[in-house]
Structure 1
Amino acid sequence: MTAFLTPEQLAERTSAAVAAAVAAGRELGLTVTEPRLLHDLFSVVVHLEPAPVVARVPTVLPDSVTPDAVSRRQRSELDVTRWLAEQGVPVLPPSPLVPREPVQRDGFSITFWEYVAENHDKEPDYAANAESTATLHAALRDYPGQLTFLGAAEPHSLSAGLTQLEKSPDLISPQDLARARREWEALEPIASSQEQFQKAFPGIDLQPVHGDSPPANIFAATDGDRYADFELVSYGPVEWDLAALGPELEAAYNRGARRNGQRELDEDVLAFVNAVGMLRVIATLELVPKLPALADYLNPAVDQWRAGPSRR
């Protein structure tokens, strides 16, 4: 049987991440007397009060993701958000009080962000957020840095996750896992290669994309909405950012795209990114032992995938 972390072990991990963030912040010259935990799921996010700085510490990662890979991803996020902020795009920016690079401390890789007060009274409007995503894409088109093609799909990690799940039949049945592996065998060459993608979808332009469902990652600040959480920023089709969000939000995005003079979403590319995204959900089951509450988020999507037609 798979071993799951206990509540005590989860609390110890959170405490260790907070302690590492505080120590790293102090070493960088920040005054930290009352650290306040803001969020704790895949990452621990802590306000290093009274410094106007938020530390984010990834804590729940696939075994196949190396510390170097985490740092590379964080550097891309820091570079993109810094550049967007310089262009006047509303984002949660890196903190200007410390060097804009990941800091290694006690086995964690930590990034530091400007503290922005949240408007807790505002309910998310996902349709408006999806429409706004087209504006983000318009801004990202001019980003001059290099990004990995569909790095957000994490093809290597997805493959490794499916292999890891062979050891955990209590997380997914052998029959379901075999189906997932068949589907990934067909999709992996396209998800792993820009050349193969462009052969499969000729005429589809590529550009920098947020990578992690931007309509669900818009932060309601007291001074207005800001784009947030660019941890999976990548190079790819804009459809990736609308994966699995459904017809209503796709239509909202298309309204924004038409207003900006951009192309609308392509149905064939949407089908592809939806299929890859669903397999990422399956592979993420690997993380449930490290974060048992994750099962409540993943299992409904797995049930939906199981009830749908197999893609080969």
Structure 2
Amino acid sequence: MTTFLTPRQLADRTSAAVEAAVSASRALGLTVGEPAVLHDVFSVVVHLAPSPVVARVPTVLPDPNDLAALARRQQDELDVTRWLDEQGVPVIAPSPLVPPEPVQRNGFSMTFWTFVEENRDEEPDYVANAESVADLHAALRTYPGRPEFLSAADPQFIADSLDRLDRHPTLIGAAELDRARREWQALEPLVRSRAAFEARFPGIGLQPLHGDSPAANVFPGVAGHLHADFELVTLGPVEWDLAALGPDHRAAYDRGARRNGSRPLDDDVLGFVDALGMIRVVAALTLVPQLPRLWEYLKPAMEQWKRMG
């Protein structure tokens, strides 16, 4: 039987995350009077007012007890965003008021960012954002860090989730789960092995990537747009950052790529990352008990996947 967190438990988790962020930030010398929660989905994002600092505290995780693995990924994000900011790329940068490293407190691991005022009157233009991703990729090509190959896909999370999803019959039926396992069996070697990927897709270069649909993670600041949320920074084909986006978005990316001298998207690789993205949706069902409203986000993608079968 699947047990979902109750509204009271979710509220208590948010309160605990805010308390941890306030406690950690004060220990770092920040002044915090009126903390304000800006977002609360996979992470609690809290403005530590009056300090111009935002804490991001992940709360929905494949393994909430493995803070060491989370901190490694958080350090990768801090490193790449600090480097991009130094190159003049428009990003939400780590706060200069605290050391650029994850901080653990009360069972949470958090990072600290520069507070940027949001333009709440602006509607997102994901097609225009997709074109700007080509420029982000051009900047990332010279990033000196060494992200892991397709770590954003989190193949171990997929494998573990597919192994235990039969405990969640209310979320996925047996036939659909069998299909997902067969599809993953075909995809897994290309995700686990860079050599296998390069043999299957010869000539497709790999580079550092945002990792988590950057066209959907452009922050509308009052002073301009900023790339944000590099939590899944990874090494891979540029197509990974365009997975599951439609033809208009992909055409916009190609316009940006032609403008800056980059290669256009490859249809075969797009097919691969789209299939991998759908299996990640299935795997994410194991997170629904931690975040019940996640089902409403996953349901349309699940219905699409079922129609494709």
Equivalent residues in 2 for 1:1-312, closer than 5 Å: 1-63=1-63, 66-309=66-309
Deviations 1:206-242 (A, max 9, x none): 0000000000000000110000000000000000000
Give the CA deviation at 1:125.
Answer: 0.6
Quote how far apart the aligned CAs of 1:174 are: 1.1
- The two structures, once aligned, show a CA RMSD in angstroms of 0.9
Whether the aligned pair in 2 keeps the contact of 1:65 and 1:157 (CA below 8 Å) is no
Would the alpha carbon gap of residues 70 and 15 (structure 1) be closer, same or farther in structure 2, given more than 3 Å must change? same
* 8 Å Cα contact 1:162-1:283 kept in structure 2: yes
SS across alignment from 1:34: coil
> What amino acid maps onto 1:249 in structure 2?
H
Tell me if the contact between 1:64 and 1:160 (Cα under 8 Å) persists in the aligned partners.
Answer: no
SS at match of 2:9: helix
Cα distance, 1:63 vs structure 2: 2.9
Q: Provide, for residues 142-163 of structure 1, a one-character-per-residue CA deviation record: whole Å limited to 9, x for no partner.
A: 0001101001100011111111
Task: Specify the SS of the correspondent of 1:286.
Answer: helix
Per-residue deviation, residues 67-95 of structure 1 (Å, max 9, x unmatched): 11111110000000000000000000000
Separation in structure 2 between the aligned mates of residue 118 and residue 100 of structure 1, nearest angstrom: 23
Q: For residues 126 and 306 of structure 2, what CA distance do their matches in structure 1 show?
A: 26
- How many Å separate the matches in 1 of 2:46 and 2:64? 26
In structure 2, distance between residues paired with 1:64 and 1:186: 29
Partner Cα distance (2:269, 2:236) in 1: 11
Question: Offset of 1:166 from its aligned partner?
Answer: 1.7
What is the rounded CA distance, in whole Å, between the counterparts of 1:3 and 1:72 in structure 2? 30
Distance in 1, matches of 2:63 and 2:168, equals: 14
Quick one: distance in 1 between partners of 2:58 and 2:295? 19
Query: How far, CA to CA, are the matches of 1:72 and 1:158 in structure 2?
Result: 19
Per-residue CA deviations over 1:176-217 (Å, capped at 9, x if unaligned) read: 111101000100010111111000100000000000000000
Task: Give the AA of the match of 2:53.
Answer: V
What count of residue pairs does the alignment treat as equivalent?
A: 309
Secondary structure of the structure 2 residue equivalent to 1:50: coil
Letter in 2 for 1:204: I
Q: Percent identity?
A: 65
Cα distance per residue 1:90-128 (max 9 Å; x no partner): 000000000100001010000000001111111111110
1:127 maps to a residue whose letter is V
Secondary structure of residue in 1 paired with 2:33: strand
> Given the two structures, how large is their TM-score scaled by the length of structure 1?
0.98
Give the 3-state SS of the residue equivalent to 1:280 in structure 2: helix
Amino acid at match of 1:125: D
2:197 partner letter:
F
State the Cα distance separating 1:65 from its structure 2 match: 7.5
Tell me the TM-score normalised to structure 2 length.
0.99
Deviation, structure 1 residue 296:
0.4
Task: Decide whether the 8 Å contact of 1:212 with 1:241 is kept in 2.
Answer: yes
Cα distance in 2 for residues equivalent to 1:184 and 1:174: 15
5+ residue gaps, structure 2: none
